[in-house]
Amino acid sequence: MKAVLSKVVGGPETLVIEDVAVPTPGKGQVLVQVKACGVNYPDVLIIQDMYQFKPPRPFSPGGEVAGIVSAVGEGVSHVKPGDRVLASTGNGGMAEYCLAAAHGVMPIPEGMPFEEAAAFLMTYGTSYYAIKDRGDPKPGEKLLVLGAAGGVGIAAVELGKAMGLEVIAAASSQEKVDFCLSKGADHGLVYARELDRDGQKKFSDDIKAVSGGGVDIIYDGVGGNYAEPAVRAMNWEGRFLVIGFPAGIPKLPLNLTLLKSCDVRGVFWGAAVARDPKAHQQNVKELFDLYKAGKIRPHISGSYPMEKAADAIRELQDRKAQGKVVVTM
């Protein structure tokens, strides 16, 4: 089979495509014939050895796939060869076949295209766990989404609306903000691509102005110099959700948490899934219900063949994606 491989540390330009053996599923594993692989920001990091997990080389990037079950290992009974599934793999997804742990494989709704299935779980799973389980949302509260046009960001916009929140989408261009408004955001806010101290104060003032005084939940998928001004615009007893850091790991003055009596809450969806798989399964069921009801639907902004997988990862690296990027096999 063909596979996209990271053989040396580096950016997308270091990836190669080679023939490798089709793996055999062991106990508790499922072999999936991959039809589409979702591209996520961890793929940008993992090939540069900058992610939490560093698989031994050579490895394929790609942490979520959709396809057809080819074979199952001992002890697997909830799926069978021929089933249409999505799977969380951590890595290995940019290949014609990949292995997944059985607990990370689940059937997809009838009629769900493989590209949408491959773009579904990581973004909606992360954002649903973040807002529902870590954000403690109450109907009518104000949700600010930073990096709102990206994969997890636009999922947060859709889910926030589905939960009855007033959603403010913040992004780095008017084009991106307009995209978020088209997906249901109540308000939009353009922020500068680089923020100095004066820019931070303006950003905080802009958040207060567009929200009518402040926000209750902040979904921060950006980090860097955007975190502090966002917290300065937070309402009393707000919740700041730590999602990711494409703009760098922020430093936050803790006196702000005292003044706002607010919480800073980490969101590590992958670890949460491993620690409480039953809660994860319930969340996925609820997400599929929202999908079937037409309240959420992955927006595929770019679809690349395997031969151009490096370009797909580069689109995320350059922060150009609106919604999700997928690689098809």
Q: What is the pTM of this model?
A: 0.87
Q: Tell me: the pLDDT tens digits for 80-117? A: 999 999 999 989 999 999 999 998 899 999 999 999 99
Which two tokens mark 278? 């039953």
Asked if the model's pLDDT at residue 125 lies above 90, the reply is yes
DSSP state of 98: E
Write down the domain spans for the chain. Answer: 2-120+298-328, 123-270
Compute how many other C-beta atoms are within 10 angstroms of the C-beta atom of residue 282: 11
- DSSP code string of 155-180: HHHHHHHHTT-EEEEEESSHHHHHHH
> CATH assignment of 123-270, given 3.40.605.10, 3.30.530.20, 3.40.50.720, 1.10.10.10?
3.40.50.720
Residue owning tokens 């997988």: 309
Band the pLDDT of 197: cuts 50, 70, 90: very high
CATH code of domain 2-120+298-328: 3.90.180.10
Q: Tell me: the pLDDT tens digits for 135-171? A: 999 999 999 999 999 889 999 999 999 999 999 999 9
Which two tokens mark 9? 């540390």
Q: What are the backbone angles phi and psi of residue 149, rounded to the nearest 5°? A: -90, -10
What is the chain's mean pLDDT, rounded?
95
Q: Which distant-in-sequence residues (6+ apart) come within 8 Å of 255 by Cβ? A: none
Which two tokens mark 8? 């040396």
Q: Tell me: the pLDDT tens digits for 286-315? A: 999 999 999 999 999 899 999 999 999 999
